[in-house]
Structure 1
Amino acid sequence: MDHSTHTPLDRSEYTNAILTDAPVYGSQDEKIGHISHVHGIGTATDVVIDVGGFLGIGAKPVLLSLEEVRLMRDGSGNVHGVTSWTKDQLKDLPEHHHSPPLA
């Protein structure tokens, strides 16, 4: 897929509603996972990417900053991410554990 023609997302679009389930492509343009959810807003946004597994079962959630993922829309308006990480490198990262909200 030629990502050079895709439109980068505006930071205001870095929301769960827009990014959840968006595919993420790796350094060799292979699908390496999908965005599970978003942490933070604006410039302080991180994404949790589910890597591996099958149909979401057995996938490992890992946390990446948005400096490590370029988010964009293709010509059909579909949102996706591109990173220089490989699937194996992401699998080697620590598993992300969601912290409960503070009371």
Structure 2
Amino acid sequence: MDHSNHVRLTSDELTPTVLEGATIYDVDDNKIGTISHMHGSEIVIDVGGFLGIGAKPVAVSAGDLDFMRDEDGEVHAVTDWTKDRLKAMPEHRH
């Protein structure tokens, strides 16, 4: 996926309504997770699992994600994190 034409989100758009459910991609454009919810300034990502079953929630700083909107208006994010690195993180508990 070519992200160069995607529009970066403004800080005002970084809200649960906009971000929840967004797909997270690594630098090689592999899907590595989905945003579950926001917890303060942290973004909770569901990693692994299948169709949301068995996924592990982990929390990262919003600054670790580059949020953007594609040509169809779909919000997603790109990160330097890998799926394995996220899976190795401690599970986020509410």
User: 1:93 aligned to 2:89?
Assistant: yes
Distance 1:65 1:3 in 2: 21
Counterpart among 53, 61, 68 of residue 65 in structure 1: 61
Unmatched segments (≥5 aa) in structure 2: none
Give the letter for the 2:90 counterpart: P
Matched, 1:21 2:21: yes
User: What displacement does 1:75 show?
Assistant: 1.0
Asked if 1:10 corresponds to 2:10, the answer is yes
SS at match of 1:77: coil
Paired position in structure 1 for 2:30: 30
User: Which secondary structure state, in structure 2, belongs to the residue aligned with residue 57 of structure 1?
Assistant: coil
Aligned residues: 94
4+ long deviations beyond 3 Å: none
State the Cα deviation string for residues 48-101 of structure 1 (Å, max 9, x = none). 000000111100001010111000000111100100111011000111001xxx
TM-score (norm 2): 0.95
In structure 1, distance between residues paired with 2:27 and 2:58: 17
Please report how far the alpha carbon of residue 16 of structure 1 lies from its aligned counterpart in structure 2 after TM superposition.
1.1
User: Which is greater in Rg?
Assistant: 1
CA-atom RMSD, angstroms?
A: 0.8
TM score, norm. by length of structure 1: 0.87
Structure 1's unaligned 5+ residue stretches are: 99-103
